[in-house]
Amino acid sequence: MSGTKAMMNSRHNILQRLRQYRTSMPAHEQMENPTAGVVEVENKVGAFTAAMEAAHGEVIPTTSEHWRRDLFEHLRAQAIHNLMIADQSRFADLLLQENTGIELLPYNQAFESMKDDLFHRVAAGFSVASAGIAETGTLIVKSGPGEPRTLSLVPPVNYVWLDANTLYQNQFEAFADKEYMKPLPTNLLLISGPSKTADIQQTLAYGAHGPKRLIVLLIDG
């Protein structure tokens, strides 16, 4: 196919030019200040909560014992009638068997079959963060069989479970944790609040394309 050949040529030409000129690049400098930008955080839960709330996210402080009760109370109080959870989520069995008056929808088929519901019917999605970042109020969500990425994206409300013990101080610390970062999932997401935009005259508006509300169940104890 001529297209493939043209592309092979392009690849070859680009790399060849770069190799030819590479000598003009400044030689490898010793990093002058390898910790610049690193901010240490002592009170991780406090910092996380403050940053998340500053970004218009909501934080429900709770415990491993009470979080389900708190979740359903919150859903009822906010008149959110249904919640979708992946049926392979680590909490699927726990949640799906609850009888709470809230309709629990399992995410149990390929996206193509779920798409219509996700866009038009699901009121809230349930996600599990595998870690968080205190300084910036950030949730880290790794895609996988139990964590479809559209659950934290398409429904208007997103509830996210987060264990306070998994909080890193800052992004530097999280990204340097080789064990946590390898292997990377198909989609690793840092989420730091509900979707927003300031594209109209610098006026902040929430719920641009993703969730309008982000509610964190912060498990501390």
Partner 1 sequence: MTTQDAGHINLNFKNRVNEALADQELRGNFRGAMDFLMQKRAAMFPDQEDLEALRKRGEQVRNRCLQQLPDLLEQLEAQCVSNGIQVHWAETAEQANNIILGIMRDHQATRMVKGKSMASEEIGLNHFLADHGIEALESDMGEYIVQLDHSTPSHIIMPAIHKNKQQIARLFHEKTPGVEYTEDVDKLIGTGREVLRQKFFEAEVGLSGVNFAVAETGTLCLVENEGNGRMSTTVPPVHIALCGIEKVVQSLADIPPLYRLLTRSATGQAITTYFNMISGPRKPDELDGPQEVHLVLLDNGRSRMYADKQLQQTLRCIRCGACMNHCPVYTRIGGHAYGSTYPGPIGQVVSPQIWGLNNAGNITQACSLNGACRDACPVNIPLPDLIRRLRHDGNNSTAEGQTAGQGQLRKPAEAVIWKFWALLNRSPLLYRLTLWSATRFRKLIPSHIGPWTRYRSAPRPASKSLHDLMKASGTQTNHPTNQP
Shortest separation between residue 124's beta carbon and partner 1, angstroms:
16
- Subset of 60-119 contacting partner 1 (CB under 8 A): 86, 107, 109-111, 114-115, 119
Binding window for partner 1 (CB under 8 A); candidates: 41-49, 64-72, 90-98, 206-214:
206-214
Residue 50 beta carbon to partner 1: minimum distance, rounded to whole angstroms:
11
Three-state DSSP state, 216? strand
Q: Does 5 interact with partner 1 (rule: CB under 8 A)?
A: no
Closest to partner 1 by CB, 70 or 91? 91
Q: Are 197 and 47 in contact (CB under 8 A)?
A: no
Query: Considering only 9-17, 77-85, 93-101, 122-130, which stretch makes contact with partner 1 by CB under 8 A?
Result: 9-17
Nearest distance, CB of residue 64 and partner 1, angstroms: 27
- 8 A C-beta contact, residue 120 and residue 98: no
- Cβ neighbours for 167, distance < 8 A, ≥ 6 positions apart: 44, 45, 48, 131, 132, 133, 134
Q: Binders of partner 1: how many residues, by CB under 8 A? A: 81
Cβ(137)–Cβ(48) below 8 Å: yes
CB atoms within 10 A of CB 127: 25
Q: Does 26 participate in binding partner 1 (rule CB under 8 A)?
A: yes
Segment 31 to 60, residues that bind partner 1, using CB under 8 A: 31-34, 36-37, 51, 55
- Footprint of partner 1 on residues 154-193 (CB under 8 A)? 154, 170-172, 175-176, 181-182, 184-193
- Specify whether the CB–CB gap between 219 and 139 falls below 8 A: no
Dist CA 188 CA 141 (whole Å):
6
C-alpha–C-alpha distance, residues 164 and 48, integer Å: 9
* Residue number, 96 or 188, with CB nearest to partner 1: 188
Which of residues 94 and 205 has its CB atom nearest to partner 1 in the complex? 205
Residue reference for tokens 């999932």: 185
